[in-house]
Amino acid sequence: MTRAGTKFGPTWRLGAGRSLSLDRPRIIGILNVTPDSFADGGKHAELPEALAGAEEMVAAGADMLDIGGESTRPGAQRVAVDEQIRRVLPVIKAIRGAGITVPISIDTTLDEVAARAIDAGADAINDVSAGIESEGMFRLAASRRVGLILMHRRVPPPLDRFSDQYAVAPKFGDVTKEVARYLGERARLAMAAGVLRESIVLDPGLGFGKSVDQNVELISGNFTLLDLGFPILSALSRKSFVGRISLERDSDPSERLPGTLSFSVSHMYAGARLFRVHDVKEHRELLDKEWPNALKISGGC
């Protein structure tokens, strides 16, 4: 770490006294237990497939698994508490029962779902609403001493649209500064509720309410976000802006791996240290290969 103000701890503190070292890029494998996620909806909807997917990602080098029971793609409909719990709890329990020990984050905006997931073995909460949707989310994260990911978004999924489908770009004065201001405030509120600073990770919300160009600005401006003093999560895997730039046309998520890898490397060079991805093996190999050069350029932050 050499950039002034760009300081965060050497580890991300998680639940049950665990932590994840940030001395190299960390890969978080996406395990969506949903029928309608944009890139892999239905792939892991049943328990045997979900457990096999978890085992495959860990074998490929995942440092962590992110499990969600509600799609956050643009236009997705909300999923009730009971249904989210029905989807995610058996998977978390099966993963722990199979002896898989990597950390698990629960992808939810509802504190009731998060609490049950933590009881089942989750170590962190990935809240794409940054605590907006559940009054008790920050208190839960504080009392259970788990990791907490806070993300920026403009609107909830039913009101959102894919980044390459805006007729007029969403209004931001300076997208990086506005996202940084918002995430800084959410982090301050989380800490006021008792969440430890070293437990917090920030996610700029690539693809959530931003145009193609605005997503690119956020990646290139990542050092502004790092100046808040928290690790940054890169979550751009297979998203529409990646396809629009890398393929220069409408594309299916399955076509976007090369572009995703390129943008993930760019984000790492700009200081991101955690990567939430669908393609674990490919990211593990490429990010590890590029890491020595990225470390020199980013100054170790």
> Mind telling me the catalytic residues?
239, 276
Decide if 77 contacts 158 (C-beta within 8 A): yes
What would the two tokens of residue 71 be?
């799609």
Question: What is the C-alpha to C-alpha distance for residues 208 and 205, in angstroms, rounded to an integer?
Answer: 5
φ and ψ of 232, to 5 deg? -110, 130
Closest by Cα among 128, 164, 126 to 250: 164
Decide if 270 contacts 223 (C-beta within 8 A): yes
- CA distances, 192 to each of 134, 185, 187, 197 (Å): 16, 10, 9, 10
Burial of 92 (0-12, 13-18, 19+ CB in 10 A): buried
Residue 236 identity: L
Residue with tokens 């895997």: 237
The beta strands (E) that lie in the chain are given as 11-13, 19-21, 26-32, 64-68, 104-107, 124-127, 147-151, 200-203, 233-234, 274-277
Question: What is the C-alpha to C-alpha distance for residues 237 and 37, in angstroms, rounded to an integer?
Answer: 12
DSSP labels, 201-239: EEE--TTSS--HHHHHHHHHTHHHHHTTSS-BEE--TT-
